[in-house]
């Protein structure tokens, strides 16, 4: 420990945030970072515990807590405090290929398990992580690492999201020749088109992609494997194939009026806005707009929250979010003990913005859309919502079984309805093209990341289902280890 009493001497200080009313006027990130001196103080708060739960990545109480990547948090917090940036950066990159992504979009499972948080405020692990990597880039400490030797083995990776990029990085450093195929026009997967630019500016994604290219990885965009390029071609041209296609099969609502114009899946909405912003800063007009519309978002997860943030920046007239389950308590319930993930209510950045702009929380808890109302032109003009209640739990999942409350229907105006209720799994045409087995949830079935087809592996959301960026990176790293062992007979990844 650099400062034994640091957790007593210094209070937690997050990266500041622009006021909500100011930040909804632009599409840039809105969290300026602390000064170097303040950041070092935050590093000093780390207790360097004998048992650092922050890096555990274990499942407790039905949810994960601690970092899935097992980041060496106490080590680089200490190095941050003592001013040894090169060594802090090395320890950070040892377990995390892309801390500039997780430092921006991760929900910080590490902080939920921080021992400091047991009786006070946890260490700013996420902000510290971002501070280390961005200072590393600023000082020119992050340079291309060209592999000294090549194995002669060729690997094709299908999908360039965080799982595919992490696997590509690992396998390339091992000396294999890696080609990443992406069906979209830009590399990054959900990092590019699934996460709005105010949460993750795309210049940071492009910066890392360019670094990976300089290190020897080949990226091919606009090629949809399974349609534009056959599975047989990849299996013939490469020694191994890794499928990191994500879980892009979106769940939809099945209610009367679903065919109305103005009803869109969340990813369709976010992708159209993100692509137009990157292509022309919206000058092309080729995007779904919430301007001057009453917007309803169905779904209370991160994707739904991002839809709120985007709609506010587009100038929506009003916005409401249908959340299926009741509001969580403000403080941990009795049975939800540290270091379990705290099951408490959280105001997302977009909720803060909606409250500041419209004067009320956009969330309507324990509710859902029962019917979509159309005008004479077939456009959505409103929705009929219904309240829900949960009196018992599913014995398998432990989740409340929500049922409609009789007589609780009401109508809300709506000209744009966004469906953000999650994903069912990967799109089936890829698994069918390769002939790989799927599990009961339609995810690609694997054993140690190997599918039922020899030489074909899977990782990320395509294998484990919809999840976090940090989990995708962990999946990519673990799959790379399995691919390397298959190619070489052993692995030191």
Sheet containing 416-419: give its strands across: 263-265, 416-419, 294-298, 318-323, 363-365
Cis, bond preceding 182 (omega within 30 deg of 0): no
| Residue owning tokens 């501070």 | 131
The residue extents of the domains of the chain are: 6-138, 154-248+424-488, 252-421
* pTM of this structure: 0.96
Q: How many Å separate Cα 425 from the centre of its chain? A: 15
Superfamily for domain range 154-248+424-488: FAD/NAD(P)-binding domain (3.50.50.60)
φ, ψ (nearest 5 deg) of residue 369: -85, 130
Q: Are 110 and 67 in contact (CB under 8 A)?
A: yes
Inform me whether the pLDDT recorded for 398 exceeds 90.
Answer: no
pLDDT tens digits, 409-447: 999 999 999 999 999 889 999 999 999 999 988 999 999
pLDDT tens digits, 297-351: 999 999 999 999 999 999 999 999 999 999 999 999 998 999 999 999 999 999 9
Mean pLDDT, residues 252-260 taken together: 97
Q: Are 287 and 273 in contact (CB under 8 A)?
A: yes
pLDDT tens digits, 129-166: 999 999 999 999 999 999 999 999 999 999 999 999 99
- Alpha-carbon distance of 475 to 162, in angstroms, equals 9
Mean pLDDT of the chain: 96
Q: What is the largest CA-CA distance in the chain?
A: 71
CA dihedral 148, 151, 153, 155 (to 10 degrees): -40
210 Cβ contact list (under 8 Å, min separation 6): none
The strand pairing partners of 462, in sequence order, are none
- Alpha-carbon distance of 151 to 240, in angstroms, equals 13
pLDDT tens digits, 349-358: 999 999 999 9
- Alpha-carbon distance of 415 to 190, in angstroms, equals 26
Q: Give pLDDT, residue 2.
A: 67
Would 6-138 and 154-248+424-488 be classified into the same CATH topology?
no
Q: Give pLDDT, residue 441.
A: 87
Q: Give pLDDT, residue 399.
A: 86
The two tokens of residue 334 are: 């009795």
Q: Give pLDDT, residue 20.
A: 98
Domain 252-421 has CATH 3.30.360.10: no
Band (pLDDT 50/70/90 cuts) for residue 119 is confident
- Alpha-carbon distance of 294 to 291, in angstroms, equals 9
- Alpha-carbon distance of 279 to 58, in angstroms, equals 41
- Alpha-carbon distance of 71 to 95, in angstroms, equals 6
Superfamily for domain range 6-138: Alpha-helical ferredoxin (1.10.1060.10)
Tell me whether strands 249-250 and 263-265 are parallel, antiparallel or unpaired: unpaired
- Alpha-carbon distance of 430 to 446, in angstroms, equals 15
Q: Give pLDDT, residue 395.
A: 87
Q: Are 163 and 475 in contact (CB under 8 A)?
A: yes
- Alpha-carbon distance of 281 to 323, in angstroms, equals 32
Inform me whether the pLDDT recorded for 63 exceeds 80.
Answer: yes
Inform me whether the pLDDT recorded for 1 exceeds 70.
Answer: no
């Amino acid at each position: 420990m650099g400062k034994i009493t640091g957790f007593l001497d210094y209070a937690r200080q997050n990266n500041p945030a622009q006021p909500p009313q100011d930040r909804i006027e632009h599409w840039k990130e809105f969290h300026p970072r602390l000064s170097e001196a303040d950041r070092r103080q935050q590093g000093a708060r780390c207790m360097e515990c004998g048992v650092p739960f922050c890096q555990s990545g274990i499942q407790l109480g039905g949810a994960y807590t601690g970092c899935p990547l097992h980041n060496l948090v106490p080590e680089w917090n200490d190095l941050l405090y003592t001013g040894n940036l090169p060594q802090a950066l090395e320890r950070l990159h040892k377990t995390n290929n892309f801390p500039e992504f997780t430092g921006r979009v991760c929900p910080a499972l590490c902080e939920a398990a921080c021992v400091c948080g047991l009786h006070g405020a946890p260490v700013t692990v996420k902000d510290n992580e971002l501070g280390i990597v961005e200072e590393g880039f600023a000082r020119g400490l992050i340079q291309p690492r060209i592999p000294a030797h090549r194995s002669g083995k060729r690997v094709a990776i299908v999908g360039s999201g965080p799982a595919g990029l992490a696997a590509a990085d690992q396998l390339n450093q091992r000396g294999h020749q890696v080609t990443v195929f992406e069906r979209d026009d830009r590399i990054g997967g959900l990092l590019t088109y699934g996460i709005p630019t105010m949460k993750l500016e795309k210049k940071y994604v492009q910066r890392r992609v360019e670094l990976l290219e300089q290190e020897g990885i080949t990226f091919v965009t606009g090629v949809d494997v399974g349609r534009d390029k056959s599975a047989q071609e990849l299996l013939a041209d490469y020694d191994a194939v890794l499928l990191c296609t994500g879980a892009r099969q979106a769940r939809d609502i099945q209610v009367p009026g679903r065919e109305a114009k103005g009803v869109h899946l969340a990813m369709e909405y976010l992708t159209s806005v993100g692509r137009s912003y990157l292509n022309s800063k919206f000058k092309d007009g080729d995007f779904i707009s919430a301007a001057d519309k009453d917007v309803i978002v169905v779904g209370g997860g991160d994707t739904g929250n991002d839809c709120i943030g985007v709609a506010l920046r587009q100038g929506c007239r009003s916005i409401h979010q249908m959340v299926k389950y009741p509001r969580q308590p403000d403080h941990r319930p009795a049975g939800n003990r540290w270091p379990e993930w705290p099951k408490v209510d959280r105001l997302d950045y977009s909720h803060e913005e909606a409250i500041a702009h419209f004067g009320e929380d956009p969330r309507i808890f324990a509710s859902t859309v029962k019917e979509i109302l159309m005008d004479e032109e077939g456009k959505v003009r409103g929705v009929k919502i219904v309240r829900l209640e949960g009196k018992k739990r599913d014995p398998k999942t432990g989740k409340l079984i929500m049922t409609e409350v009789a007589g609780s229907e009401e109508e809300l105006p709506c000209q744009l309805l966004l469906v953000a209720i999650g994903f069912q799994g990967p799109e089936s045409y890829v698994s069918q093209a390769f002939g790989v087995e799927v599990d009961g949830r339609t995810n690609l079935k694997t054993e140690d990341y190997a599918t039922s087809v020899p030489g074909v592996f899977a990782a990320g959301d395509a294998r484990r289902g919809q999840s976090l960026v940090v989990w995708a990176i962990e999946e990519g790293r673990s799959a790379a280890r399995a691919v390397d062992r298959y190619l070489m007979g052993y692995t030191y990844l």
